[in-house]
Structure 1
């Protein structure tokens, strides 16, 4: 008895297997990326006293009067770049969400808050690099405060 054997073209076998392997690899890559990604930082833009906090990466606005300070601090509740807002009259310290360019944000805030006497950026890492310290301060955590 002779049986006829049909041969499938190689492309009909290899292409589905390659596509399945590629999809599995992409799924594994997304899974690993989700495990490696640091957790999101909490956002609390309700103004709080600065006491007990040491910002190392922040934008600081200095106002001539306390009323201006609190009015500005409250205005950051809806700012998508603000993560934490601290007040130490006559100053407002703003910690940003990760990925925010502090210098660009400071320029934006300087044009938005004309009553501010000064708008500066605290960047401990950049300051340590410029000073070429032999024993640099501890690296600023991504939270923006020690």
Structure 2
């Protein structure tokens, strides 16, 4: 005896299988991304002395007096882009949270803090690329300091 096998249209089978494969692929991609993602950097906006720290990716806000700098420190500490704050009268050096565009942030700080004499970006990687050094400095770690 021969039994008839029901023929299902290809689209009724292909769509669920494709959706399952896409979901599995997306899940695998997120899992791999979580494995390779670097650990979060600690955020400590409490001012610390700059002495002993070599910064390679930071924004430096310079004031005309130590009083002006000290007056600005509390609001600088509250900036969500600040990861670390270093003071060296009359300037404040700011390390940013990863992913912050230092140039754009420097412009924003310059517009916000009118008493600042100068807002400078320290970016040793960009400087080395511009100068086309034959022996560039070591790559700046994502922490922003050597």
Q: With structure 1 as the length reference, what TM-score do the two structures score?
A: 0.90
Q: Structure 1 residues 7 and 131 mapped into 2: Cα distance closer, same or farther (>3 Å)?
A: closer
Residue of structure 2 in register with 1:12 after alignment:
12
Measure, in 2, the Cα distance between the counterparts of 1:119 and 1:22.
48
Q: Which runs of no fewer than 5 residues in structure 1 stay unpaired?
A: none
Residue of structure 1 in register with 2:25 after alignment:
25
Contact 1:46 1:74 in 2 (8 A): no
Residue of structure 1 in register with 2:115 after alignment:
115
Residues 86-134 of structure 1: per-residue CA shift (max 9 Å, x gap)? 0011110011111212112112211222222221111111211222221
1:28 CA drift (Å): 0.6
1:65 CA drift (Å): 1.6
Measure, in 1, the Cα distance between the counterparts of 2:80 and 2:11.
51
Residue of structure 2 in register with 1:143 after alignment:
143
Q: Which moved more, 1:72-81 or 1:9-18?
A: 9-18
Residue of structure 1 in register with 2:43 after alignment:
43
Measure, in 1, the Cα distance between the counterparts of 2:83 and 2:41.
8
1:135 CA drift (Å): 0.9
Measure, in 1, the Cα distance between the counterparts of 2:6 and 2:120.
77
Measure, in 2, the Cα distance between the counterparts of 1:27 and 1:34.
11
Q: Which runs of no fewer than 5 residues in structure 2 stay unpaired?
A: none
Measure, in 2, the Cα distance between the counterparts of 1:107 and 1:21.
46
Q: Structure 1 residues 136 and 11 mapped into 2: Cα distance closer, same or farther (>3 Å)?
A: same
1:4 CA drift (Å): 4.3
Measure, in 1, the Cα distance between the counterparts of 2:121 and 2:75.
19
CA RMSD of aligned residues (A): 1.6
Q: Name the SS of the counterpart of 1:32 in structure 2.
A: helix
Residue of structure 1 in register with 2:78 after alignment:
78
Q: Name the SS of the counterpart of 2:34 in structure 1.
A: helix
Residue of structure 2 in register with 1:97 after alignment:
97
